Chain A
Amino acid sequence: MFGTGADTGSYDDFEHTDVIVVWGSNTQEAHPIIYNHMRRGIKNGAKMVLIDPRKLAMENFSEIWLPVNVGTDIALANAIGHVIIEEKLYNALFVKNATLFFEEYRNQVERYTPEFAERITGIPQEKIRATARLYATANRAMMAWTLGITEHHNGTNNVHALINLALLTGHVGKPGSGLMPLRGQNNVQGSGDMGALPNKLPGFFNVEDIKARERLERAWNCEINPENGLNVSEMQEAMHEGKLKFLYVIGENPLQSDANTTRVAEAFSNLDFLVVQDLFLTKTAQIADVVLPAAGWAEVEGTYTNSQRGVQRVRKAKNPPEEARDDLAIFCDLANQFGVNWRYETAKDVWDELRSLSPAHFGMTYERIDREYELQWPCPKLDEPPTQILHTRLHTNDVGLKAKFVLVNYEPPVDVVDEEHPFVLITGRRLAFYNTGVTTNNYGSKVKDQKEYLEICPKDAQRLGIDTGTVVRVQSRRGSVVVPIRISNKLSEGTLFMSFHFPDQVDTNVLTSDDVDKKSGVAPFKYTAVQIEPFLVSEE
């Protein structure tokens, strides 16, 4: 139902709504322009609820801030659901017409009383009740989340806990009411839509769907492997076990950007053959057997799909340097070494093949995108408008497939805080820096803060006798790094924050756990138990 893992609404909905819940997303820094839409919404009268352990700058504009203990979001969401049911604030008509398993959900959240949740989440029960009332009694409400909640096509438990609240209140599939997972990188949405996923074929079909496989087999004159493939984490496991021997890496730098880099390096050392196709000689490229120089942004034609399902054209402004080549040409030449006879002259040829295989994209020709700028899928017909809001049918008499409540329970985080590791380290992004920084570390002088540092709250710093500039050793159960601290009022006691943008200075990912979320294969970047101590120069 919500299986495609995409925004159900559009950014514009943030401007015309009554309540905006921002859950685990520093939208202002990570998605500044989406945040502008939210701000206009607040100007138009919407109330914002901010759910994040950090006191973000956005807190100034929010009606309620819930500094939830890291990793306890499910307990909080279930408690909000509990209150909505207990106080009979749910949308009974919507629940009856459009959803399944409400009774099971009711039983599940029964034990998540606000009192119980307060002990887990650290949020006073009155605030939990106030949030539930605000969200449930709003005419329209949007819910947005991002890395803090971690979204994927399989849906993680956290995401289900949030979706359940929208099902309870009917705040989905209407103007001003939607569920908005905000995408980190520019084309996360599109790469999945294209079938660059182990369980999905192009156009949202499952690998396990025999009819979809047969269609591809006819189109491509080959056999499609009927078994789901491995996700990134599982591939690295298979590399460890010596089963996966040939890896092709395009524009990614897993040796620096994945959690627990020591173990990743071990996995890579087991490969027989590594191809890296990239713009730069990254750490990963340095250990490759073949490195192919690719064309970058503004050097290729094509499309990206944004967070609101909008397909837009990217265009070529310059040639790639010297012998660097467009990825499409590289893949054509490579594939044709195997006699498959690929004949794509232009990006449009590739797109037209995708359109022929994906009904949801069929109505979006390049010409039409040129004309209309952005087209949101599904857009199956050439002469019909694209789709601004998904799942509107849930509010009609013709509901079709009903939406299911998915029962999820709070489980304590794997990396436990104890006496030896008494701090919770949160890792994330800072404004203007981007992942491992391969593309953004040469801004010049325009942007401040081009260094890694560890943020700590004033109380903890005082207790440890350290101050901004003091260099500390941060020790997790997996490794340690040395980094200067900076005092920050954003954090509550016992939590620390660090980014992962400068792996050459401070390799944050040495600390993080690769104990992945089993459903999504996404490592829990957000939460690591650590100890810190002043670092003495004589240690070096």
Chain B
Amino acid sequence: MSTILDNQNILSTICSFCGTGCGIEITVENGQPVRVAGDKKSPVSHGETCVKGSQGWGYIQSKERLTYPLVRRNNRLERSSWSEALKIITSAVHRVKSQYGSDGFGCFSSSRSTNELNFLAQKFMRQVIGSNNVDSCNRT
């Protein structure tokens, strides 16, 4: 596994915008990406990218990112801790399971996330919940 790099460094990764899978090089300075360009080593794109790939990534540094868990209290979303948020989910799972069984559950997984996340999402649904109700919103 790679570690976060302190000074300037270049990291190869894959574009997250469409199914082509172009290779991307991120220039990282002091733990933050500062530049993104096509990766010449990519057998898919040989250094090419489109405007989405080279310009669209800034959202990950957006000020509007969620930075802590939220839970609903008195019909409002309020800041919470990870352990509280997970406890609330866990007790809701038990409650719904006893009332509706495993058919009462569903998961919309993400066709933008990694294979590894999708593997765990379906494993959670099948092993923990006992349901095959897992699909991604966007299958095209």
Contact = CB atoms under 8 A, between A and B. Distances in A.
B20 interface: yes
B123 A225 contact: no
Contacts of B102: 225
Contact of B109 (A191, A207, A254, A439): A191
B69 A307 contact: no
B136 A196 contact: yes
B132 A207 contact: yes
A251 B113 contact: yes
A143 B28 CA distance: 40
A243 B103 contact: yes
Interface residues of B, number: 102
B42 A373 contact: yes
Contact of A224 (B66, B126, B133): B126
Interface string B1-44: 11011000001111111111111001010011100000001111
Contact of A246 (B4, B105, B140): B105
Given A33-B22, A307-B19, A327-B120, A333 B82 contact: yes
B99 to A, nearest CB: 8
B112 to A, nearest CB: 5
Given A186-B14, A186-B112, A327-B113, A198 B4 contact: no
Interface stretch (A113-121, A227-235, A394-402, A475-483): A227-235
A481 to B, nearest CB: 21
A249 B135 CA distance: 10
A347 B130 CA distance: 24
Which of B2, B28, B32, B52 has its CB near the most chain A CB atoms (within 10 A)? B52
Contacts of A186: 14-19, 21, 111-112
Given A198-B132, A286-B77, A288-B72, A235 B106 contact: yes
A296 B138 contact: no
Contact of A447 (B55, B64, B96): B55
A228 B132 CA distance: 6
B125 to A, nearest CB: 8
Interface residues of A, number: 143
B117 to A, nearest CB: 4
Interface string B111-131: 111111111111111111011
B126 A225 contact: yes
Contact of A434 (B52, B90, B130): B52
Interface string A257-283: 110000000000000110100111100
A167 B3 CA distance: 49
B119 A335 contact: no
Nearest to B73: A289
B85 to A, nearest CB: 5
B90 A334 contact: yes
A324 B65 contact: yes
A11 interface: yes
A268 to B, nearest CB: 11
Give the dominant DSSP class at B's interface. Answer: mixed
Contacts of A407: none
A205 B16 CA distance: 27
B19 A317 contact: no
Nearest to A525: B140
Interface stretch (A92-100, A101-109, A146-154, A501-509): A146-154
A334 B92 CA distance: 12
A319 B64 CA distance: 16
A521 B134 CA distance: 13
Contacts of B74: none
A188 B127 CA distance: 23
A352 to B, nearest CB: 10
23 contacts: A30-B18, A182-B19, A185-B140, A186-B112, A187-B115, A196-B122, A224-B126, A238-B103, A245-B105, A246-B104, A252-B138, A275-B89, A286-B77, A289-B88, A292-B69, A297-B60, A301-B1, A314-B14, A317-B4, A324-B68, A337-B86, A340-B128, A442-B59
Q: Which 9 A-B pairs have the closest CB atoms?
A: A183-B19, A306-B21, A229-B132, A302-B114, A251-B110, A293-B66, A322-B67, A32-B50, A307-B19
Interface of A: 11, 30-34, 36, 146-147, 150-153, 182-199, 201-202, 207, 216, 220, 222-225, 227-232, 235, 238-239, 243-254, 257-258, 272-273, 275, 278-281, 285-286, 288-294, 296-308, 310-319, 321-325, 327-328, 331-335, 337-338, 340, 342, 344, 346-348, 350-351, 353-354, 373-374, 431-432, 434-435, 438-440, 442-444, 446-447, 520-522
